[in-house]
Amino acid sequence: MIVFLDFEASSLGKHSYPVEIAWVLEDGRSRSLLIRPAANWTDWSSDAERIHGISREQLARQGVSVAFVVKEMMMALSGHDLYASSPSWDGKWLSVLLRAGGIPRHALRVRKSDDLFIEVAKAIFEEAGMADTDVPALVDDVIAQSEPATSAHRALPDSLLELERFRLVREAAKMRVSPQGK
């Protein structure tokens, strides 16, 4: 099954770590967890805190242990195709989290959501004999049109947005193939 995931982090620095993870499965089931920082995770940016609104105190009170998060992730996400809007960052934080939980960093891998969107639309066009359609332009248009007026900068809304974009790309491609919606 396709899964979209997202992280919020302590900063965008070299020693940053995840403070929140959320994922949403293609069927709509979702999970969101605040992560209590591991003892050696000390990096913190007040700028990042202002953006996502998660404080160190909130993580200490409401966050769950790295071990718990990793166990939940491995049970829920293993064997599924994982996607994120920014896999370079989300992949970094996924690796940090997995390693801190004693799991090899490549036990779960994440790909770029846009690549999936292109693959899905391309398959719809190829099946209809419209292989020459400008798929990247269609995907770019859907992403632009679905950009929220104000971004939540939280992991679950960001994951849900990727799922919505996946559905919108499929619908747009199908409409292009059959404008009457047949």
Give the pLDDT band (50/70/90) at residue 46.
very high
Assign 27 to helix, strand or coil.
coil
pLDDT score of 150: 81
The mean pLDDT value of the chain amounts to: 95
- Taking residues 141-162, what's their average pLDDT? 92
pLDDT tens string 54-69 = 999 999 999 999 999 9
CATH classification (class only), 2-111? alpha beta
Taking CA atoms, 99 is separated from 48, 96, 118, in Å, by 23, 5, 31
CATH 3.30.420.10 residue ranges of the chain are 2-111
- Name every residue whose Cβ is closer than 8 Å to that of residue 74 and which is 6 or more positions away in sequence: 103, 107, 108
Assign 25 to helix, strand or coil.
strand
What pTM was computed for the model? Answer: 0.93
Would you say 7 and 48 are in contact if contact means Cβ atoms under 8 Å apart? no
